[in-house]
């Protein structure tokens, strides 16, 4: 059994529960999305906190943290592809599905169903923000599906769209909660 540690990072878009294991960060969750481990396992996570601070400050575009993400081989392949979406850019679920090797899909998934399969795997991403599932949008450019709520997805895309937030960004985002 691995040693689990956790802490909460108070971000401009609300508290984020960070869960770490022996091999790296296992989860970065919005409120109510995962059970919190025992209080005795709570420990500061300075490397994660520092990079989140830099990201929300507009100073970090790519995270450099060890991740220990648990999922099916298909999920892990989708999550790997999410990391290829550049900061400040978006991609549709269909575009992401088209980048995947067709062999990674279950044999019963028809080509026209692949975007939905990608969306489902995207929704199982345990490390939001760091593995940028917020950069995936609908084919028509609309914001669809985000575990933290569409208001948070919009806030993250706004942060990345400008490259560096204006000083009132943090206050505006917190007021949305």
Strand-strand pairing, 14-21 and 5-11: antiparallel
Q: Is 81 a catalytic residue?
A: no
45, 133, 137, 159: the active-site residue: 133
Residue 163 Rama label (left phi>0; alpha psi -120 to 50; beta): left
Residue among 28, 35, 26 nearest 13 (CA): 28
Q: How far is residue 146's CA from residue 133's CA, in Å, rounded to a whole number?
A: 8
Cβ neighbors of 41 (< 8 A, separation 6 or more) are 3, 4, 5, 6
Sign, CA torsion 69/149/50/164: positive
**Residues taking part in catalysis:** 133
């Amino acid at each position: 059994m691995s040693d689990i540690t956790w802490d909460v990072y108070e971000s401009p878009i609300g508290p984020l529960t960070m869960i770490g294991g022996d091999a790296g960060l296992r989860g970065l969750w919005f409120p109510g999305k995962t059970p919190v481990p025992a209080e005795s396992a709570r420990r500061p996570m300075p490397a994660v906190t520092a990079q989140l601070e830099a990201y929300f400050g507009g100073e970090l575009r790519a995270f450099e943290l060890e991740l220990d993400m648990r999922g099916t081989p298909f999920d892990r392949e989708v999550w790997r592809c999410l990391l290829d979406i550049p900061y400040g850019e978006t991609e549709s679920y269909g575009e992401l599905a088209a980048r995947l090797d067709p062999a990674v899909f279950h044999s019963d998934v028809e080509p026209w169903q692949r975007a939905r399969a990608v969306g489902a795997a995207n929704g199982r991403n345990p490390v939001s923000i760091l593995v940028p599932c917020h950069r995936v949008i609908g084919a028509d450019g609309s914001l669809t599906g985000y575990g933290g709520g569409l208001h948070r997805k919009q806030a993250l895309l706004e942060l990345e769209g400008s490259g560096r937030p204006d000083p009132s960004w943090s206050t505006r985002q917190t007021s949305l909660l």
